[in-house]
Structure 1
Amino acid sequence: MPAFACPAPRTRNAASTRQAMLEAARRQFARESYENVGLREIAGEVGVDPALVCRYFGSKEALFREVLRSPDDGEFLSGATAETLPEYLAELLTEPRCEVSAEKVGWLLIVMHSAGSAQASQIVRDTLHEDVLAPLEQMLSGEAAELRAGLVLAVMLGTAMVNTMGIESLHKSSDDRLREKLVEVLSAAVR
């Protein structure tokens, strides 16, 4: 009589399970608005019960706040200075294949998809102010820093949106030409 082996119990690792839920939520929120993403879908992608998502994050709102934390722990502009900002952002927006750029562009998509959400818009505004606008204002300092920071954010979000939509005018040009034009626009915004 053949001996049947019992399957090995699944190894439990709270940190990796939490991270898997967070990554699934990022993917879901990058594709859909806040209202269209449910904890069941996130849990299903990871293969866990939706109650476990609530246990780890408390609520969908708390999970969304965690997802919106900048991909590099609140340092969206890490590595940039006022002088290098136009080049830094142009590179970020034209090189989404690079892992860091892809994460940051994905973050911009999450912001765009849920910015108009009745439930999530305040979270999005708070996050944009805290993680992008305030650091930009500090970096740009001087006259009209708040306005200039807002213009930079508008260019970033607009470029990410147009790229996502696949607008031909941007896709027809070479990455170098697009990057060059973005540097010009962003340079004008920071002045």
Structure 2
Amino acid sequence: MRGETTRRRDASHTRQLLLDTARHHFARYGFSTTTVRDIADGAGVNVALINRYFASKEGLFEACLSSAVTDLRRETDSAPANEIAAKMAQRIAGSADDPRHHETMLLLVRSSGDERTDAMRRALLTSISTRLASAVQSSPEPPGDAALLRAQLLIGALLGASLMRTSIAVPPLATANEAQISDALEVLVKALLPPG
């Protein structure tokens, strides 16, 4: 029984290690140039474990995207509309301290060169923008194209700000604190997603 528990714990740890390593590689080097060997070597495991846990490189990429979106949703889905800017500011401000935040942003914007994986990325970004647009409207109806466009512009600003802060380190964004970022984003959120 003890050996079974250890194996399960090791399997869970190995799966997470593969996800973290793959996220890093996909974000930094792209889908098409990253090999399963790169990921397995980076994680220090046998390459066969990628197929065991994720079925394929594409399955691993999909798991990375799903994990990234789950992280974003966890931070924004439970937030009332008036706290969206503060939640976004936390993510941008934290991106310099936590490489996972930065890698999530890169994973969502970096083209893979593979239509199937790009379609997954588009679907996930569409889902996030739909949830964001729905959060501020009073109607239970799905948001229309105009609301989705504004939500996508806001997501684009979030992604761009995160990249400017971490990858390019453009001041004053690179050195702004969370409160300063939140104040600026509050203006943007109110302009693009007014309650309605």
TM-score by length of 2: 0.77
CA deviations over 1:123-182 (Å, ceiling 9, x no partner): 11012122x112112212267321221121111111122122212342255554333222
Residues 1:105 and 1:47: Cα distance change in structure 2 (over 3 Å): closer
Deviation at 1:73?
A: 8.3
2:188 is matched with 185
- Consecutive unaligned residues in structure 2, runs of 5 or more: 1-5
Q: Which residue of 1 aligns with 2:110?
A: 113
Could you tell me which residue of structure 1 aligns to residue 161 of structure 2? Answer: 159
C-alpha displacement at 1:21, in angstroms?
A: 0.8
The answer for the alignment partner of 1:78 in structure 2 is: 77
Letter in 2 for 1:32: Y
User: C-alpha offsets along residues 39-95 of structure 1, whole Å, 9 cap, x if unaligned?
Assistant: 101100122221221121111111111001124385352331212112221222123
Root-mean-square deviation (CA), in Å? 2.5
Unpaired stretches in structure 1, ≥5 consecutive residues: 1-10
Between the aligned partners of 2:84 and 2:30, the Cα distance in structure 1 is 29
1:48 corresponds in structure 2 to 45
Counterpart in 1 of 2:26? 29
Q: How many correspondences in the alignment? A: 177
The residue number in structure 1 matching 2:65 is 68
CA deviation string 1:111-130 (max 9, x = no partner): 1223x633431111012122
Gap change, CA 1:117 and 1:140, over 3 Å in 2: farther
Greater helix share, structure number:
2
Equivalent position of 1:7 in the other structure? none
Contact 2:133 2:151 in 1 (8 A): yes
- Percent identical pairs in the alignment equals 27
Question: Is the 8 Å Cα contact of residues 54 and 60 (structure 2) preserved in structure 1?
Answer: yes
Q: Distance in 1 between matches of 2:175 and 2:19?
A: 35
Higher Cα radius of gyration: 1
